[in-house]
Structure 1
Amino acid sequence: MAAAQDSPLYLGFDFSTQQLKVVVMDGYLNVVLQNNVEFDSELPEFRTQGGVHIHADRLTVTSPVLMWVKALDLLLDKMKGVGLDFSRVRALSGSGQQHGSVYWREGATETLQQLHPDQNLHQLLQDSFSVSDSPVWMDSSSRQQCQDLQAAAGGALTLAQITGSRAYERFTGNQIAKLRQTRAEEYRRTERISLVSSFAASLFLGGYASIDFSDGSGMNLLDIRARSWSKICLEATAPDLERLLGAPVPSTSVLGPVSSYFVHRYGFSESCRVVAFTGDNPASLAGMRLQQGDIAVSLGTSDTVFLWIQQPHPALEGHVFCNPVDWEAFMALLCFKNGSLMRERIRNECAGESWEHFSAALRDTPLGNEGNLGFYFDTIEITPAAVGVHRFDPEDNKVSSLSPQVEVRALVEGQFLSRRLHAERLGYSIIPGTRVLATGGASSNKDILQVLSDVFNAPVYTIDVSNSACLGSAYRALHGLAAESGASFSDVVKKAPEPQLVTTPHPAAQEVYDRMLKRYARLEESVLQESRP
């Protein structure tokens, strides 16, 4: 291992859908060890596919709780096997797939406090869960509960203004409501409900870990401004729910020392601290080291936009969460289904299946595309809920085709105008010092990034975000300790490798795209009207 033998270490775990991963980081922010456990291949006895069980109705999707516990046993044994000195670990934190929920059976709190170091965790906890398979983020079986919650809150937009999102079937509050209604006996035997993140923290803590503000924002239950459970939402979901959830805490909270089980079984120091775990999306924001005014754009199969915002404006689309590294700020998340696959189709049709020709088309066409504009949704889009390809000429007339080069620019400009429009609707604003951090497959194409830079009128940087949730969790472990003495997250991560500057906006970009954005918003509304049944 690369770290000096006396250097303190910080652990970041990620309990994701298909695997459990860990990053070990030293005090200089160097990653000195990475490891993982693949659920399907390394724990075949749980019979998962992609880490989940898909039920007969195709809507209900769950994961075995004990699989996650056994994966932790296996991962810690792997780390011990390669010689990790756990006594050097000063703090640990982690993340979990958002929206999953874990139901602890009555008496589990005593079991957690009395774990015997001679046995594996999964053996000790095999009778500790009232629900053996946890609902996870892929579940879409709670439509009725979503409708009930929105009605109780006074409508979808009112619910979004309280909790940061309209009701979503995967969100934990709706899953809890469904479970209480359909599996009343298991629910009655439950003494605590955790998110995947706080469940994982509980294992290390030897007691029930609090849900943090940021992951709690993905439940349709937390008032994101008051940073407390919404009474309206709790009452609409289940009786006595506040007791089952416990009080939420800031994401930087140090929850306590690691359980004596880990001290005696693996050699952790008694002074090692457990920092609140959070969701995988908030942890990724920490891993990407976003700052105020930054925007991260992941250009993959779907395009995902992460935002750091100060004044949120929750809407019917997208999600606003409490910020995991600055408790006065917020983060927002937007997902766009028509990302790289859409770019690849237009490349094949208009650029001879060549990215080189695709890039040349972007270089050879002017900013603003001489007023030609397009909306490209091969599959029904999430943001906005539209489908089909819609092309407009400079006079806003709908046209059936554009020349190949113009089509390429119309696609890319249209995609990035959409990302900016919906980010601003959630409360994002470009400020001096704003950076666009680009990740994902298309971030290797400088000409695509030039359009991104021009549309946002901000410099574009690229960053390596492999294992960003793990890395963010390790950063957060260090920050949790430092925050007790007032250090900011940016202070803690200033030694981390800097993002690489790729391009800056053209001098004329602001004038062109500020005007174009207003037109795009107007035309998007007409496209939406056309897409509605």
Structure 2
Amino acid sequence: MWIKALDKLLTRMKSCGFDFSRVKALSGSGQQHGSVFWRKGAAQTLRSLDPDLDLSQNLQDSFSVQDSPVWMDSSCRPQCDALERAAGGALTLAQITGSRAYERFTGNQICKVFQTRPEEFKLTERISLVSSFAASLFLGRFAPIDLSDGCGMNLLDLSQSDWSELCLNACAPGLRPLLAAPVPSSSVLGPVCSYLVTRFGFSERCSVVAFTGDNPASLAGMRLKPGDIAVSLGTSDTVFLWLQFPRPALEGHVFINPVDPQHHMALLCFKNGSLARERVRDESGGSWSHFSSALTDTPLGNHGNIGFYFDVLEILPAAVGVHRFDAHNNKVSSFPAHTEVRALVEGQFLSKRLHAEKLGYTIVPGTRVLATGGASSNPQILQVLSDVFNAPVYTIDSSNSTCLGSAYRALHGLLAESGVSFSDAVKKGSEPKLAATPDPEAKQVYDEMLKRFAQLEDRVLLESRPQD
């Protein structure tokens, strides 16, 4: 399916008159945590692609596992448990690889294939991530996995920027040769293959820069800088962090930074985003104007009232239900409508700040919050975001941040060997727009409130756990 999609894309571009000869470099991204199992003999097939045939025709017999496991795979719990035991516990594994064991992570998928489909595993010549698989199609040979996307496998040792022997051995013996050595995300892997030159008119000098995962590519597209935080306010809310000194924990994910391998990025995901905001909007007046007025008419800190709004089981923390507390930490059944709105929005942003700080994020002078997603169009919501983080909030148009980030990374790849930084390589890109600045009283209010919020979150988590 993926190969046929690329066939169609390139064919349509050619028929529309796109001049491939003008492309100096290309990169790309793939959905994280997917895996592709190349069949023995695939390397030779890649080297000798027939330009008279589609890629899908050339490669139809090149895979030992026909249906690629992807991020929606939730069947690897036994393998996750075994990997955490082998590492000495979930926290130890997180400290090694940046994440505790997750079912969707590629190492656990590989382990399951090794254990349950041994004959297919024996026929495997190479295992790619979706990103390195796509890069291989442009290179005409197996592309290495980049360090950033490699962090989504539970196999990469962050401190060594290489595969962890402990994790490799726990997943499958002899796994290292099937993965080959990972490379920095800015690596130029080589020129495009002769197949693309002949069939589509690419220049022989067009460089292929390492492909990466969709989340790292999105960070590049948003042009985060050291100390920045990006908050995507959608159906689920996602937080991207640029970290210099991460603290991997049992929650969230830490990756090697795709634009600076000396630094890291972290990813936090919260399920209860816009849908929770829309529900409270409907119950508190029925319009965004009422919702916005409630935020304007209530004070910073909401008179000490704090709320947790988990309409569905949350990821961070793993809790469900609506939990309201007054200024004395007493649980209450309801808030007035205006108080409810502010409790929701403050609670969502306090949670993001709390869990970001747990991973090593620190607000410093010069910190920027980059906001995107549907709710970033609401000035009052952005004002609360700015106040809670005590930092200016900027808005960005990142509807195609993953694709844009891939293009930025291709440009950086051409310049990186000359010592040009990513930020200098993309400095001509459009700048984010200032949308909100923090209230002078915000720091004192929310620094104190965050301490209470952390204690109450622990209480909510305890109350949400099933009783024996």
Same fold (TM over 0.5): yes
What pairs up with 1:329-478 in 2 under 5 angstroms?
329-350=263-284, 352-478=285-411
Matched, 1:74 2:8: yes
The one of 455, 458, 462 equivalent to 1:529 is: 462
Mapped partners of 1:125, 1:390: distance in 2:
54
- 1:206 paired with 2:140, answer yes
CA distance in 2, matches of 1:389, 1:75: 46
1:301 aligns with 2:301: no
Residues of 1 paired with 2:94 and 2:325: CA distance? 33
Tell me, what secondary structure is at the counterpart of 1:135? Answer: coil
| Structure 2 counterparts to residues 67-106 of structure 1, below 5 A | 67-106=1-40
Superposition deviation, residue 433 in structure 1? 1.3
Unmatched tracts of structure 2, length 5 or more: none
Q: Which amino acid in structure 2 is aligned with residue 162 of structure 1?
A: I
- Aligned position for 1:158: 92
Q: CA deviation at 1:132?
A: 1.0
Partner amino acid, structure 2, of 1:441? G
Partner of residue 416, structure 2: 483
User: More strand by proportion, 1 or 2?
Assistant: 1
Q: How many residues align?
A: 466
Q: Percent identity?
A: 75
Among candidates 81, 90, 112, match of residue 46 of structure 2? 112
Structure 2 counterpart SS, 1:134: coil
By how many angstroms is 1:423 displaced? 0.5
Residue 328 (structure 1) aligns with: 262
User: Whole-Å Cα distance in 2 between the matches of residues 470 and 245 of structure 1?
Assistant: 25
**What SS class does the counterpart of residue 193 from structure 1 fall into?**
strand
Aligned to 2:441: 508
Residue equivalent to 2:208: 274
d(CA) in 1 for partners of 2:277, 2:93? 35
Distance 1:78 1:388 in 2: 49
1:262 aligns with 2:196: yes
Instruction: State the Cα deviation string for residues 275-307 of structure 1 (Å, max 9, x = none).
Output: 000000000000111111111101111100011
Cα offsets for 1:102-121 (capped at 9, x unmatched):
00000110110111211111
Q: Does 1:176 align with 2:122?
A: no
Three-state SS of the structure 2 residue aligned to 1:338 is coil
Per the TM alignment, residue 84 of structure 1 is displaced from its structure 2 partner at its CA by 1.0
In structure 1, what residue type is equivalent to 2:256?
C
Distance of 2:420 and 2:81 partners within structure 1: 43
- Runs (4 or more) in structure 1 with deviation over 6 Å come to none
**Which secondary structure does the structure 2 equivalent of 1:315 belong to?**
coil
User: Match of 1:300, as an amino acid?
Assistant: G
> Equivalents in 1 of 2:364, 2:429: separation in Å?
23
| Amino acid paired to 1:507 | P
- C-alpha distance in 1 between matches for 2:58 and 2:291: 58
1 CA distance for matches of 2:15 and 2:368? 42
Alpha-carbon offset, residue 493 of structure 1: 1.0
* Structural mapping, 1:204-243, within 5 Å: 204-243=138-177
Secondary structure of the residue that 1:494 maps to in structure 2? coil
- Letter of the 1:131 partner, please give it: V
Secondary structure, in 3 states, of the residue corresponding to 1:502?
strand
Question: Which string of whole-angstrom CA distances, capped at 9 and with x for unpartnered residues, describes residues 142-185 of structure 1?
Answer: 11000110010011111011000010000000000001111111
Match of 1:33 in 2: none
SS of aligned partner of 2:28: strand
After superposition, give the CA deviation of every residue in 1:218-258 in whole Å (9 maximum; x if it has no partner): 00000112110001100000010000000000000000111
Q: Please provide the CA RMSD for this pair.
A: 0.7
Which residue does the alignment assign to 1:15? Answer: none
Secondary structure, counterpart of 1:235 in structure 2: helix
1:497 corresponding residue in structure 2: 430
1:283 aligns with 2:217: yes
| TM-score, normalised via structure 1 length | 0.87
Q: Deviations over 1:456-490 (max 9, x none)?
A: 00111111111211110000000001101000010
* Paired AA for residue 102 in structure 1: V
Which residue, 149, 153, 163 being the options, matches 2:83? 149
Q: Name the aligned partner's letter for residue 397 of structure 1.
A: N
CA deviation string 1:159-213 (max 9, x = no partner): 0110000100000000000011111111100010000000000010111100000
